[in-house]
Amino acid sequence: MSTLKETLFNKIEEHRSRTTRLLKKHADTKVGEVTIGQAIGGARGVRCLVTDISYLDPMEGIRFRGKTIPETFAALPKVPGSDYPYVEGFWHFVLTGEVPTLEQAQAVAADFKTRSQVPQYVFDVLRAMPRDTHPMTMFSAAILAMQRESVFAERYRQGMNKMEFWDPTYEDCTNLLAKLPQIGAYIYRMKFKGDTPIAPDPELDFGGNFAHMMGIDTPYDDVARMYFILHSDHESGNVSAHTVHLVASALSDCYYALSAGLNGLAGPLHGLANENVLRWTQNFIAELGDKEPTEEVIRQALWDTLNSGQVIPGYGHAVLRKTDPRYVSQMEFCQKNLPDYPLFKVINTIYKVAPPVLMEHGKAKNPWPNVDAQSGVIQWYYGVTEYSFYTVLFGIGRAIGTLANITWDRALGYPIERPKSVTTAMLEEVVGIKD
Ligand code: CMX
């Protein structure tokens, strides 16, 4: 058993008694009430999911295993010569809650290498799809195609004790995660770079190898590490994380579950917003022609979008009530690496102008930018201008948190998810509406 797996096993053994005690002694204690607004309105704020991987405070933003983003980056061992940590070390961290040593992170990286070979049929599936298929559809299909590899599904067929579920889930999740950089980069190079995939380099880590297979020089390797970690998890209620958890709760294996979650991430109100931010901004710049993107011009463009009944992509959030720290983290990267880049300046001006416009508009509860408002600029700067690819990058990152979560779901024996629905007439009866 690897050190990571052994550490995880010990953590699971410790944790199981906590969950069992809560269920045995306190199952009827309420953690909140559900209002009619929440029942109709997308269960906003209903406390009915449990995860220890990350927690999202509306004002502070995300904490991974109790650490803020800057604390996470500072604590984790860095790839030698790089400013950012091993993604593999982050996987160790979110799975176990323990910050790995450099040796432990490198051991996980070595383990990933043994699992990273993508079966040829996955490439065949991708190649069989029309070339204008959206990259997210390709990404999701590639993952689903690998379902036949599932160790969990095979062991379940053979008959497996429930207490063992976490073990093949861990194996599946690690096997799948290790393959995602190559699948993502393959889709990119096949679709956008004249069908010129680049073979992986066995010497490189998760982020470094991704940059290599994208065909982009340093510091894009650090961009990849930063990007995957930042997008990894945002507690459990967002569409992608919740979908992965929901599908896995039926004991569907992680290939089914992650593919489903990515289909949710592909929605414009969720991960696809990063594509739409760049589309919106580039369309706006193109329409400007030679004119300067002044605050006034941007304000007008924002109002035009709102007045035509559309959302401002990259702004607003269901939980956050301040600027997303993931936005801030990427903004700081831009300030350091591309301070004078014109597109970054436009994005900064939007940041200045959009919140007051949204406040005046009066609908969005959170007028501040989310993660998607900043991420495309960095990609564009390093040459990834094909913005339909951006959500795939988000998806590789999101896999880390969601796969860690379902490993724990299995370890703690979380049951099949099954909230209860009511009819409109029942709600009317509750509030005394008669006709
Ligand atoms: N532009 C215009 N209107 C917005 C808005 C925005 N950026 N954000 C919210 N609103 C509107 C909503 O559409 C809603 O309008 P209706 O009352 O007409 O239905 C109203 O404000 C209230 O919405 P809310 O409670 O503030 O926000 P929700 O929790 O319903 O939705 C989100 C959250 C993210 C879907 C929404 O803010 C949005 O559509 N943002 C733009 C798309 C985007 O950036 N999504 C990415 C989010 C991060 C991620 O998951 O990747």
pLDDT in tens, 144-157: 999 999 999 999 99
Could you tell me the pLDDT band of residue 434, with boundaries at 50, 70 and 90? confident
Instruction: For residue range 162-197, list pLDDT tens digits in order.
Output: 999 999 999 999 999 999 999 999 999 999 999 999
| 241 plus 104 within the same structural domain | yes
| 264 plus 406 within the same structural domain | yes
| 262 plus 176 within the same structural domain | yes
Q: Which token pair is 287?
A: 């329409």
pTM, 2 dp? 0.97
**In a domain? residue 55:** no
| 68 plus 206 within the same structural domain | yes
| 115 plus 256 within the same structural domain | yes
Q: Give the model's pLDDT for residue 118.
A: 98
**In a domain? residue 36:** yes
Count CB-CB contacts under 10 A for residue 70. 12
Split into its structural domains, the chain has a count of 3
Q: What's the CATH code of the domain at 367?
A: 1.10.230.10
Could you tell me the pLDDT band of residue 141, with boundaries at 50, 70 and 90? very high
Does the beta carbon of 232 sit less than 6 angstroms from any atom of ligand 1? no
DSSP state of 431: T
| 18 plus 88 within the same structural domain | no
Q: Give the model's pLDDT for residue 110.
A: 98
Structural domain span for residue 7:
3-48
Output the CA 331–ligand 1 centroid distance in Å. Answer: 22
**In a domain? residue 391:** no
| 336 plus 222 within the same structural domain | no
Q: Give the model's pLDDT for residue 264.
A: 98
Does the beta carbon of 315 sit less than 6 angstroms from any atom of ligand 1? yes
| 95 plus 232 within the same structural domain | yes
Q: What is the mean pLDDT of residues 405-433?
A: 97
Q: What is the mean pLDDT of residues 382-388?
A: 98
| 195 plus 316 within the same structural domain | no
Instruction: For residue range 294-335, list pLDDT tens digits in order.
Output: 999 999 999 999 999 999 999 999 999 999 999 999 999 999
**In a domain? residue 429:** no
Q: Which of 365, 366, 372, 402 to mutate to test ligand 1, by most ligand atoms within 8 A of the CB atom?
A: 365
Q: What's the CATH code of the domain at 219?
A: 1.10.580.10
Q: Give the model's pLDDT for residue 430.
A: 95
| 279 plus 225 within the same structural domain | no
Residues 6 or more apart in contact with residue 408 via CB below 8 angstroms: 12, 15, 51, 52, 53, 95, 166
**In a domain? residue 205:** yes
Q: What is the mean pLDDT of residues 267-272?
A: 98
| 142 plus 80 within the same structural domain | yes
Q: Give the model's pLDDT for residue 394.
A: 98
Position 435 pLDDT exceeds 80: no
**Average pLDDT along the chain:** 97
Does the beta carbon of 355 sit less than 6 angstroms from any atom of ligand 1? no
Position 234 pLDDT exceeds 80: yes
Position 86 pLDDT exceeds 80: yes
**In a domain? residue 59:** no
**In a domain? residue 388:** no
Does the beta carbon of 363 sit less than 6 angstroms from any atom of ligand 1? yes
Instruction: For residue range 104-120, list pLDDT tens digits in order.
Output: 999 999 999 999 999 99
**In a domain? residue 330:** yes
Instruction: For residue range 44-68, list pLDDT tens digits in order.
Output: 999 999 999 999 999 999 999 999 9
Q: What is the mean pLDDT of residues 258-281?
A: 98
DSSP line for 246-300: HHHHTT--HHHHHHHHHHHHTSTTTTTHHHHHHHHHHHHHHHHTTS---HHHHHH
Instruction: For residue range 123-140, list pLDDT tens digits in order.
Output: 999 999 999 999 999 999
Secondary structure E strands in 8-58: 54-57
| 158 plus 307 within the same structural domain | no
